[in-house]
Structure 1
Amino acid sequence: MAGGGLQGAKKRKREHAEGKAKPRKQVKGGGDGAKRKSHSAAGGYTAHGGAGEVVARKKTPVTPKEKRLAAKEMSEARKMKRRQHYSLEKELTKLWEKMRCHDVSKEERSKAVSQAIHKMDGKYLDIATSHVTARVLQTCVKWCSESERDAIFDVLQPHLLTLSCKKYAVFLVKKLIELASKKQFASFISSLHGRVANLLHHTIGAAVVDYAFQRGTQRQKRQLLVELYSPELQLFKDLTVQSSSCLIDTISKLGLQISSVLLHMTIVIDKILEKGTVEYLIVHTAILEYFTIADKTSASDAICQLIPLLTQGALIIDGDEPTNAPELPKKAKAKKKRSKEPLIVRIMQTREGLKLGISCVKYGSAKDRKKIIKSLKGHIMKLALSDFGCLFLICIISIVDDTKLVNKIVIQELVKHLKQLIFDKNGRRPLLQLLHPFCSRYLSPNDLACLNYNVPSLSSTEVETSESAIGVITENKLDDVTAQDPNGLEGKQIVFESKKDPLQRRHELLIKSELAEALVQSCIENVGELLRTNFGKEVLYEMAVGGKDNVLDGLTDRIHMLHDAIASDAAQPKTEDTEHAFENFFSSRVIRRMVIDCPAFAVTLWRKALQGKCKIWAEGHSSKVVASFLESPSTEVKDLAKPELQPLVDAGILKVPDPKVVQK
């Protein structure tokens, strides 16, 4: 039908052009009908008066510019009808453009903020829920005076929990919490009573609860956390104000039934896992507390639900208000990149998040471990350079038996950035773990305790959770035990459900992956800088002595080349530009350790740098290096150096530490 109509129209045009157009039929009903038809065709305008007097018809938009202006006018008219405060929104947006700029003066910004607050007075709730003006109010809260901020807080305080679940108002609530006084923050914490669990199920509200949890005192944190333990603690506010430090103490002090607490926490945590709001610190803390009382089945189910959530991207991306700063494109790029990160990377910002990740690796199946490692692709360096992420990588390379997968995803990424890693405080730790596992020199007692974290019901020494077992389950006190004995965990493997021999795993990750070869080469190329830096010297030392258990046995020739490079640097004459290796604070001490622990290096250093020159280096920091030849347990090293050093000792020029003191 449409095609026929189009063809007919073309035919009429062609006939009209050729002069063959048929005369139109006269409209029935007389002239009035014709006039009516003419009136409608003319768009509602008729001619009046004498000849030449015609009322101008309404001009329809023809050019693109006219069409854009007409569309804009129509859009403005629709917005005026749809939005209650549309005119106010336009005024506030103009003021916001002034106050948010970085180059605006304090006086101008203060004036713009005061004007905006005056215009918003009495309409704060409507303003806070609008996606256009919520950011204006947020900026005003940030830059306004304390009295103005208090007035805004007082008006919005009864509605803060409602606003916490709104997509755009949530950032305003977080800003109010950040800048709130102690009294205002305490009142907000009090208003959360009985609603913590419900808000944690909400994908937006959970961010506000967690933000308050992180900013709260230890007492306020417990006040929020204990509501997740039992219904009684949600109903009776007085019970939440108690000084217990963990779930076990709470159960003991309040006389709660462990079976009832376990059932309630299982329901709460299952809802949180179903919603996927697992990126928050309060959730991590609650799950770790849950593990202390959970039976084997409950703990396994929770971990099985956690792993798919942690290996996918974040549901919510927190963001600050936009700015006109030059780095805006970089911020947008970083935000976009962060949305692709798996949650397991994002939660490595806290010790609780680290423990949760370690529990997933330890107690997950081989398939789960493979899924976790694959999700880390492209994020290895970010983990390696962070405080807790490097410990998570240590856990992976110490537990996972699939060394081919670890080599492909983890090791190869580390090899590409070796120079950056060996000079970084955190980046060197995964490398040192392969060279000398769980060494208290490189890992603090708290770090070792985290790596040794285990879920009681899933560990090899399983403890049945019952009413009488409350005093037995004290896994959370492991940190205190380790702090008293820093060397207690050194050398112990944290392997659970791993079948491969630890030494074989280290050999495959170091030698077969060619990591050790690249590491030796990097050390040779940067030997002078490594000697004189606090963090780099540790990697250099472990490579020079061949690692623990002689793990670098297959690279003897390359290690001898490293010894020659260190000795060559030490053999350089003194200059004013660079501090000599024997006199530098860091290098003198690490060379002394190498001499004592590695006889092969001691012989090379003596022949290249010290033989016949000991009197020059017998004072200052360098005297520690010279004296170390007499402290060496190797007879060969002592016999080599004694003829030249003994006269210096007898003359009182060189002082050798008491062997008992050195041993101590």
Structure 2
Amino acid sequence: MASSNQKVNKTTKRKRIPGSKTETDGSRSKMSKLVISKPSNHPEKGSKKPIKSFKKHQPAGFDEEKKVPSTNRDRRIHAKELTEARKKKRKRHYNLEQELVSLWERMRRHNIAKDNRSKLVTEALEKMKGKIPEIAGSHVSSRVLQTCVKYCSQEERNTVLEELRPQFLNLASNKYAVHFVKKMLDNASKGQLAGFISSLHGHVASLLRNKVGSVVIEHVYQLGNATQKQGLLLELYSTELQLFKGLVSMKESRLVDVISKLGLQKASVLRYMATVIHPIIEKEIVDHSIIHRVLTEYFSLADQSSVTDIIQHLAGPLLPRMIGTKDGARIGIMCVKHGNAKERKKIIKGMKGEIDKIAHNQYGCMVLVSIVSVVDDTKLITKIVIRETERKIKELALDKSGRRLVLQLLHPNCSRYFSPDDLASLNLSIPSLCIKSDTTTSSKSMKVEESSEKEHEKETKVMVAEASENTNLENNINPVEGGKKDPFVRRQELLVESGLAERLIDVCIESAGELLRSNFGREVIYEVATGGSDGILHPTLDDKLNALHEAIASLAALSKAEDSQEEHILENFHSSRTIRKLVLDCPNFASTLWGKALQGNSESWARGHSCKVISAFIESSDSKVRELAKYELQPLVDTGILKTQGQGKQQADE
């Protein structure tokens, strides 16, 4: 019975389902229920049909057996194919560009025959016909077009020009097409260039405000004649001149003359010019000569606050980019002269690392000359200008423009080394700022007590201002005192105390022959050997100067056979005249040269270019020099072997 009861209990007892809730499971978290109740993809035991795994919907035509590239080469090929496919979708003329590139690779070779190149150029132009404005903006196609325009015939070039003309302004602002436009301008005839310039009318100011478009305007400005240049400039002066052509002639080249002829209001002209100039300076588009010309005209009329604002914007790294042109250098000189100490410091610091490049420039060197002549902060000049000059002192001494900085310190404002135009540019000044300085000095010297006298002073100031407006900037050559320091003290600090003079003398000793034979270096070694203007190198560097005199005399003492590789310094055209000048102007050098090189050998040097050196001893104004050589040279003069300069003139007159 007991066993039967146990069987009944076993059968009636409910089976416990795994995961079902029991009394002990009450403390389970809800999260565990959720996890347990999640359906499983795995089929339960005893199920007849297995649950199918989820399959993503694949597009029609999908090849499941297609393999992904496994090697690096296959991956590169696959990536190239994808790139080509994307370019074909994105670029309308992609296939045409590929054909043009293949032609271009052949036509641009140097060893190709002219006939073959002409055929390739003609084929390329035929393929591009009707599509030039569209494909000119492409980096690749623009290069092809430049080569085609360079080598095509004039008729083909005219055809391209006519197709390009309607889209000229749009292409002028494209960063790739601008190179093709410049090439077209270079190969255009005078009539075609005039047509290009005519199409620019009314758009000069807007293109100058664009970094790419300004390049085209500058290129046209450089290619145009004086009348065409003036036409481009006039658009930047006034709205009336922008809208209408032919209002002024070439006689009215200055802005002051244009205003007086047309009766324009000065205030409206200056307002318009300010709207043109300020955006250009803010975008730092200051490299072009047309902008430099506009700024010089603006400086001649603008008031004090406007000019000061422009100087503040230009002081720094912008000004060194401008001083490579004639007008740009003049702006630089005026900014140095009229800028305050802070602005001058910015200008000089902006030139750091560029001194050598600026000094070799025909116009930029004059800005450096102005800095060493005006700025009182000699420590800053020494730190930047002088130190960079020392590293390249020999190259600068042998260069036509580079020598001017050194010569200005040795002999300031000398007409032998600076042309009248150079000296005039050093004395340029801004009228409105000159009026300010004049009125402040006069107000200090005069004490005005009555109101009537004050009114009279105001009237006179206005009259002076009006008179200055009609004065040409170039004729305003009254020097403006840029610094309070004595000029001689400034030169001594920059030349002697900085160590530049000592380094310069060492270079002259090492390269005396090369400098004497050079057309430009001879002027530097002459000024150094004589001690500079006002004897600035004496007495500090007397020992060094004596060593230089000895070095020159040693070269002169060499016989012709020993110096056969180069022309002897007594027979060379440049060196013989420089040594003659040293004999006449420097008695100390004359005695050294005579004692070491010429005494006892004067007869052998009494003919040719060297005779000018020998005759200088007789013509010298120093009695000691004349007495030194009189005993040996007078017999040569009496016998007619040696001719002095006075005898040569008498023979020429007879």
TM class, shorter-chain normalised?
A: 0.7 to 0.9
**Equivalent pair of 2:576/2:613 in contact (CA under 8 Å):** yes
Which entry has the higher C-alpha Rg, 1 or 2? 2
Greater CA drift, 238-247 or 363-372: 238-247
Aligned to 1:25: 43
Query: Which residue of 593, 597, 617 corresponds with 1:629?
Result: 617
Query: Which residue of 558, 562, 581 corresponds with 2:548?
Result: 562
Change in 2 beyond 3 A, CA 1:595/1:43: same
Aligned to 2:353: 378
Q: Give the C-alpha shift of residue 44 in structure 1.
A: 7.1
Aligned to 1:196: 204
Q: Give the C-alpha shift of residue 154 in structure 1.
A: 0.4
**Equivalent pair of 2:43/2:50 in contact (CA under 8 Å):** no
What letter corresponds to residue 644 of structure 1 in structure 2?
E
Within the alignment, does 1:108 sit opposite 2:116 as a pair?
A: yes
SS at match of 1:238: coil
Change in 2 beyond 3 A, CA 1:413/1:297: same
Within the alignment, does 1:173 sit opposite 2:181 as a pair?
A: yes
Aligned to 1:451: 426
Change in 2 beyond 3 A, CA 1:198/1:44: closer
Query: Which residue of 497, 520, 530 corresponds with 2:505?
Result: 520
**Equivalent pair of 1:385/1:424 in contact (CA under 8 Å):** yes
Aligned to 2:96: 88
Within the alignment, does 1:657 sit opposite 2:640 as a pair?
A: no
Q: Give the C-alpha shift of residue 265 in structure 1.
A: 1.6
Query: Which residue of 448, 452, 474 corresponds with 1:476?
Result: 474
Q: Give the C-alpha shift of residue 519 in structure 1.
A: 1.1
Distance in structure 2 (CA, Å) of the matches to 1:64 and 1:570: 74
**Equivalent pair of 1:285/1:352 in contact (CA under 8 Å):** yes
Q: Give the C-alpha shift of residue 41 in structure 1.
A: 8.4
**Equivalent pair of 1:596/1:629 in contact (CA under 8 Å):** yes
Change in 2 beyond 3 A, CA 1:471/1:63: closer
What letter corresponds to residue 415 of structure 2 in structure 1?
S
**Equivalent pair of 1:141/1:176 in contact (CA under 8 Å):** yes
5+ residue gaps, structure 1, are: 1-21, 47-54, 312-342, 479-488
Aligned to 1:164: 172
**Equivalent pair of 2:132/2:163 in contact (CA under 8 Å):** yes
What letter corresponds to residue 239 of structure 2 in structure 1?
P
Any residues of structure 2 matched to 1:636-655 within 5 Å, and which?
Answer: 636-655=624-643
Within the alignment, does 1:394 sit opposite 2:380 as a pair?
A: no
What's the CA shift string for 1:235-287, capped at 9, x where partnerless?
Answer: 11121554422112222232323233222222221232223222111100001
Any residues of structure 2 matched to 1:353-432 within 5 Å, and which?
Answer: 353-432=328-407
Distance in structure 2 (CA, Å) of the matches to 1:242 and 1:528: 51
Query: Which residue of 299, 315, 318 corresponds with 1:291?
Result: 299
**Equivalent pair of 2:88/2:95 in contact (CA under 8 Å):** yes
Query: Which residue of 152, 157, 161 corresponds with 1:144?
Result: 152
Greater CA drift, 218-227 or 240-249: 240-249
Distance in structure 2 (CA, Å) of the matches to 1:422 and 1:572: 25
What's the CA shift string for 1:469-492, capped at 9, x where partnerless?
Answer: 3774122346xxxxxxxxxx9xx9
**Equivalent pair of 1:435/1:547 in contact (CA under 8 Å):** yes
TM-score by length of 2: 0.83
**Equivalent pair of 1:223/1:241 in contact (CA under 8 Å):** no
Query: Which residue of 472, 493, 498 corresponds with 2:483?
Result: 498
Any residues of structure 2 matched to 1:209-358 within 5 Å, and which?
Answer: 209-239=217-247, 242-308=250-316, 311=317, 343-358=318-333
Distance in structure 2 (CA, Å) of the matches to 1:300 and 1:558: 46
Change in 2 beyond 3 A, CA 1:173/1:461: farther
**Equivalent pair of 1:293/1:465 in contact (CA under 8 Å):** no
Any residues of structure 2 matched to 1:47-126 within 5 Å, and which?
Answer: 57-126=65-134
SS at match of 2:192: helix
Q: Give the C-alpha shift of residue 556 in structure 1.
A: 0.5
**Equivalent pair of 2:517/2:575 in contact (CA under 8 Å):** yes
What letter corresponds to residue 474 of structure 1 in structure 2?
N
What letter corresponds to residue 503 of structure 1 in structure 2?
F
Identity of matched residues, %: 50
> Number of paired residues?
584
TM-score by length of 1: 0.82
Distance in structure 1 (CA, Å) of the matches to 2:58 and 2:427: 88
Distance in structure 1 (CA, Å) of the matches to 2:648 and 2:470: 42
Change in 2 beyond 3 A, CA 1:564/1:466: closer
**Equivalent pair of 2:337/2:374 in contact (CA under 8 Å):** yes
Q: Give the C-alpha shift of residue 224 in structure 1.
A: 0.6
What letter corresponds to residue 612 of structure 2 in structure 1?
K
Change in 2 beyond 3 A, CA 1:102/1:24: farther
What letter corresponds to residue 526 of structure 2 in structure 1?
Y
Aligned to 1:573: 559
Distance in structure 2 (CA, Å) of the matches to 1:581 and 1:228: 56
Aligned to 1:437: 412
SS at match of 2:297: helix
5+ residue gaps, structure 2, are: 1-39, 440-460
**Equivalent pair of 1:45/1:57 in contact (CA under 8 Å):** no
**Equivalent pair of 1:226/1:240 in contact (CA under 8 Å):** no
Query: Which residue of 594, 598, 602 corresponds with 1:614?
Result: 602
Change in 2 beyond 3 A, CA 1:141/1:26: farther
Distance in structure 1 (CA, Å) of the matches to 2:73 and 2:167: 46
Q: Give the C-alpha shift of residue 659 in structure 1.
A: 10
What letter corresponds to residue 517 of structure 2 in structure 1?
R
What letter corresponds to residue 630 of structure 1 in structure 2?
I
Greater CA drift, 87-96 or 171-180: 87-96
Distance in structure 2 (CA, Å) of the matches to 1:78 and 1:581: 72
Distance in structure 2 (CA, Å) of the matches to 1:170 and 1:523: 49
Q: Give the C-alpha shift of residue 640 in structure 1.
A: 2.3
**Equivalent pair of 2:399/2:521 in contact (CA under 8 Å):** yes
Q: Give the C-alpha shift of residue 62 in structure 1.
A: 3.3
What's the CA shift string for 1:439-488, capped at 9, x where partnerless?
Answer: 1111222222222222222235588688953774122346xxxxxxxxxx
Distance in structure 1 (CA, Å) of the matches to 2:64 and 2:398: 82
**Equivalent pair of 2:172/2:181 in contact (CA under 8 Å):** yes
Aligned to 1:539: 524
Q: Give the C-alpha shift of residue 655 in structure 1.
A: 2.7
Distance in structure 2 (CA, Å) of the matches to 1:79 and 1:465: 69
**Equivalent pair of 1:594/1:602 in contact (CA under 8 Å):** yes
**Equivalent pair of 1:295/1:464 in contact (CA under 8 Å):** no
Distance in structure 1 (CA, Å) of the matches to 2:59 and 2:201: 66
What's the CA shift string for 1:178-229, capped at 9, x where partnerless?
Answer: 1111111101111111111111112221111111011100010001101111
Distance in structure 2 (CA, Å) of the matches to 1:251 and 1:647: 73
